[in-house]
Amino acid sequence: MSNSSLVSYTKISPNRTSPRKHTIDTITIHCMAGNLSIESCGNVFANKDRKASSNYGIDSNGRIGMYVEEKDRSWCSSNSDNDNRAITIEVANDGGAETGWHVSAKAYESLIRLLVDICQRNGIKELLWKGNKSLIGQTQLQNMTVHRWFAAKACPGDYLYNKHGEIAKEVNNRLNKKQVNFQNESNITDKSKYIWDRLIAAGFTSIAAAAILGNLYDESHFKSNNLQNSFEKKFKMDDEVYTAMVNSKSYDEMTFAKDGAGYGIAQWTYWTRKQALYEYTIKQGYSIDALPRQVDFLIEEFKTKYKGLMDTINASKDIQIASNLVLTQYERPADQGIAVQKRRGDYSQLYYDKYYIKEVAVPFTVKVNKSNLNIRTGPGAQYESIGYTGIGKFTIVEISNNWGLLKSYRVNRNGWICLDYTERV
> Is the pLDDT higher at 28 or at 421?
28
Q: Quick one: how far is CA 215 from the chain centroid?
A: 24
pLDDT of the residue at 183: 42
Q: What is the bridge-based pairing of β-strands 56-58 and 86-91?
A: parallel
pLDDT above 50: residue 3? no
What are the pLDDT digits (tens) for 256-306?
999 999 999 999 999 999 999 999 888 888 889 999 899 999 999 999 999
pLDDT above 70: residue 422? yes
> Which DSSP letter does residue 330 get?
I
- The residue-averaged pLDDT of 119-143 equals 90
pLDDT of the residue at 23: 86
> Is the pLDDT higher at 399 or at 393?
393
Q: How far apart are CA 50 and CA 46, in angstroms?
A: 8
Cβ atoms of 68 and 74 closer than 8 Å: yes
Q: How far apart are CA 31 and CA 94, in angstroms?
A: 11
Express as a percent the part of the chain with pLDDT over 90: 59
pLDDT above 80: residue 2? no
Q: What is the bridge-based pairing of β-strands 26-31 and 56-58?
A: unpaired
Cβ atoms of 71 and 96 closer than 8 Å: no
Topology, domain 191-355: Lysozyme (1.10.530)
Confidence of residue 250 (pLDDT cuts 50, 70, 90): confident
Express as a percent the part of the chain with pLDDT over 70: 92
pLDDT of the residue at 19: 76
Q: What angle do CA 82, 138, 56 make, to 5 degrees?
A: 35
- The residue-averaged pLDDT of 62-70 equals 88
pLDDT above 90: residue 49? no
Q: How far apart are CA 344 and CA 338, in angstroms?
A: 10
pLDDT of the residue at 329: 97
pLDDT of the residue at 383: 84
pLDDT of the residue at 357: 65
pLDDT above 80: residue 254? yes
pLDDT above 50: residue 5? no
Cβ atoms of 288 and 282 closer than 8 Å: yes
Q: In what order do the strands lie in the sheet with 56-58?
A: 9-11, 64-66, 56-58, 86-91, 26-31, 144-145
pLDDT above 80: residue 36? yes
What are the pLDDT digits (tens) for 277-287?
999 888 888 88
Q: Kindly calculate the radius of gyration of the chain based on its CA atoms and give it in whole angstroms.
A: 23
- The residue-averaged pLDDT of 77-101 equals 93
Confidence of residue 88 (pLDDT cuts 50, 70, 90): very high
Confidence of residue 4 (pLDDT cuts 50, 70, 90): very low
pLDDT of the residue at 360: 61
DSSP string, 82-121: HHHHEEEEEE--SS-GGGTS---HHHHHHHHHHHHHHHHH
What are the pLDDT digits (tens) for 149-165?
999 999 999 999 999 99
pTM above threshold 0.95? no
Q: How far is CA 280 from CA 71, 215, 268, in A?
A: 19, 22, 13
pLDDT of the residue at 94: 92
Facing residues of 117 across strands?
none
pLDDT of the residue at 424: 85
Lowest mean pLDDT among 35-39, 186-190, 366-370: 186-190
CATH number of 9-182: 3.40.80.10
Superfamily of domain 364-424: SH3 Domains (2.30.30.40)
pLDDT of the residue at 184: 45
Q: Taking Cα atoms as reference points, which of 371, 397, 204, 217 lies closest to residue 302? A: 204
Average pLDDT, the chain: 88
What are the pLDDT digits (tens) for 179-212?
444 444 546 778 999 899 889 878 898 999 999 9
Q: How far apart are CA 234 and CA 261, in angstroms?
A: 10
Q: How far apart are CA 196 and CA 265, in angstroms?
A: 13
- The residue-averaged pLDDT of 35-59 equals 88
Confidence of residue 17 (pLDDT cuts 50, 70, 90): low
Facing residues of 368 across strands?
392, 422
- The residue-averaged pLDDT of 351-370 equals 81
Residue ranges of domains in the chain: 9-182, 191-355, 364-424
